[in-house]
């Protein structure tokens, strides 16, 4: 059907399929649906594919020779409902999630279709009693007929299975991460610019959907002052990741840009384990892409470039060396703290905590990667880029007195 819309430039096709057993399925596809499918799989709209011989050949291999679209057979599925087992502590009071978006239905069914017979029963026996057990997918077709698929998975061992027609099958673990993300975000925008899809596809990332679009004013410079919230370090770090794939947004410092946050199908690179979930971040100015990088979201946001390189691989320096270029050593508080002995820094830190001088207390802390990550992403909502401020946990301290400093052997 998509092939016809490409060749004949048709905007709408109604068709009937006879399965040879007297069953006839009548359905239709329009230009918008065709574009949604080709952008999801190839990163291009149908009109862009038709104008390019190389793209059309790739399209033919994917959709015609391999017959992937027909194998998914999702045109007659109008809804997928995800029902969580109320006995799972993790899903307490979590109501069903209803999916009607065609791209998301295609994605879910596609992941289910990739399931394989379980090869290692012993591995599946590792699933804990406290895992996510006995949940359901209810697929409803256009005739309101329903089919049920049960699923169980364990986030500790990163394993799981589905039960379909009394047979247990093992999908890729990406499927279960996808399900958890549906709970996390609750809002899914699948109408994604083709150039964004194409950019991530170039580096073997699959965009599932957009979760937020935020206006961000970039700092005027990237020199971090003692005690300030490390937003400048956030942008300095991620500009290095962007530069790795040819984008340098430093010339837009001081400007307001749009930051788009996407969920990605593939996990973070192996070297970043145990972290798994990746967010794709795209920066735009006047609709033009000026930056893009991978982010890990809540708790430890700093991740990698689209080509899966770490900061250290990109700049050929470790964190402690790299960050020196982004510190304002002329800052008055920076100079004051630098003159203190280690014991003096510790004493100053606790005095600042007792007087609730957050900036002074933070100035005493080393700019380690873990400290910066804590400020930027601890307990952060995953629809945000970073924590706008990280002072709340200091407010929990009513008073503190330093009694003694001892050097450990």
Q: What is the pLDDT of residues 158-189, one digit of tens each?
A: 999 999 888 999 999 999 999 999 988 988 99
47 and 137 assigned to the same domain: no
pLDDT of residue 392: 66
What's the pLDDT score for residue 257? 98
What stretch of H or E contains 336?
Answer: helix 332-338
159-164 and 12-18: which strand pairing? unpaired
Query: Does residue 404 belong to any structural domain of this protein?
Result: no
Low-confidence ranges of the chain (pLDDT < 50): 1-7, 14-26, 64-72
Query: How far apart (Å, rounded) are the C-alpha atoms in residues 165 and 149?
Result: 8
Give the relative orientation of helices 369-377 and 231-243 as an angle to the nearest 10 degrees: 110
Residues 62 and 119 occupy one common structural domain: no
Number of domains observed in the structure of the chain: 3
Residue 308 resides in a domain: yes
Q: Are residues 43 and 121 in the same domain?
A: no
Residue 405 lies in a domain: no
How far is the CA of 141 from the CAs of 74, 135, 202, in angstroms?
9, 20, 34
Output the pLDDT for position 74.
76
| 401 within some domain | no
Query: How many C-beta atoms lie closer than 10 Å to residue 259's C-beta?
Result: 17
Domain co-membership, 19 together with 84: no
The pLDDT, as a whole number, for residue 28 is 58
- Distance (Å, whole) CA 240 – CA 254: 18
| Pair 11, 136 in one domain | no
**Same structural domain for residues 220 and 108?**
no
Tokens of 248: 């340098």
Position 403 in a domain: no
385-405 per-residue burial string, b: 16 or more CB within 10 A, e: under 16? bbbeebeeeeeeeeeeeeeee
Looking at the structure, tell me whether residues 18 and 83 fall in a common domain.
Answer: no
Q: Please indicate, yes or no, if residue 311 is contained in any of the structural domains.
A: yes
Q: Are residues 52 and 181 in the same domain?
A: no
Last residue of a domain, one of 23, 44, 71: 71
Is 23 a domain residue?
Answer: yes
DSSP 268: P
Residue after which a domain boundary falls, among 143, 160, 185: 185
Q: Which residues pair with 292 in a beta bridge?
A: 282
**Structural domain containing residue 64:** 2-71
226-280: pLDDT as tens digits: 999 999 999 999 999 999 999 999 999 999 999 999 999 999 999 999 999 999 9
Say if 352 falls within a structural domain. yes
């Amino acid at each position: 059907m998509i092939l016809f819309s490409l060749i004949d430039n048709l905007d709408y096709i109604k068709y009937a399929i006879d399965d040879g057993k007297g069953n006839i399925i009548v359905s239709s596809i329009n230009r918008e649906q065709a574009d949604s499918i080709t952008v999801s799989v190839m990163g291009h709209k149908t009109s862009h594919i038709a104008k390019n011989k190389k793209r059309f050949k790739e399209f033919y291999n994917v959709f015609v020779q391999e017959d992937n679209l027909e194998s998914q057979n999702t045109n007659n599925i109008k809804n997928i409902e995800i029902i969580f087992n109320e006995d799972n502590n993790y899903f307490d009071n979590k109501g069903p999630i209803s999916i009607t978006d065609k791209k998301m239905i295609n994605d879910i069914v596609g992941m289910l279709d990739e399931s394989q017979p379980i090869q290692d029963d012993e591995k599946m026996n590792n699933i804990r009693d406290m895992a996510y057990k006995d949940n359901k997918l209810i697929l409803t077709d256009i005739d309101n007929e329903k089919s049920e698929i049960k699923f169980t998975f364990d986030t500790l061992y990163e394993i799981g299975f589905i039960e379909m027609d009394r047979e247990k099958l093992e999908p890729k673990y990406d499927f279960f991460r996808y399900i958890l993300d549906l709970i996390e975000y609750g809002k899914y925008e699948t109408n994604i610019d083709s150039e964004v899809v194409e950019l991530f596809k170039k580096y073997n990332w699959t965009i599932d959907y957009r979760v937020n679009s935020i206006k961000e004013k970039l700092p005027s410079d990237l020199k971090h002052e003692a005690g300030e919230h490390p937003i400048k370090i956030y942008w300095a770090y991620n500009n290095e990741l962007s530069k790795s794939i040819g984008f340098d947004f430093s010339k837009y410092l001081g400007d307001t840009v749009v930051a788009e946050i996407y969920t990605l199908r593939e996990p973070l690179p192996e070297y970043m384990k145990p972290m798994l979930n990746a967010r794709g971040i795209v920066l735009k100015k006047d609709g033009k892409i000026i930056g893009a990088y991978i982010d890990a979201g809540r708790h430890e946001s700093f991740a990698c470039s689209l080509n899966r390189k770490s900061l250290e691989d990109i700049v050929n320096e470790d964190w402690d060396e790299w960050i020196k270029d982004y510190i304002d050593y002329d800052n008055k508080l920076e100079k004051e703290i630098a003159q203190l002995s280690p014991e003096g820094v510790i004493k100053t830190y606790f005095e600042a905590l007792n007087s609730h001088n957050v900036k002074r207390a933070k100035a005493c802390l080393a700019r380690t990667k873990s400290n910066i990550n804590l400020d930027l992403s601890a307990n952060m909502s995953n629809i945000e880029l970073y924590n706008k401020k990280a002072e709340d946990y200091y407010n929990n301290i009513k008073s503190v007195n330093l009694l003694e400093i001892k050097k450990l052997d």
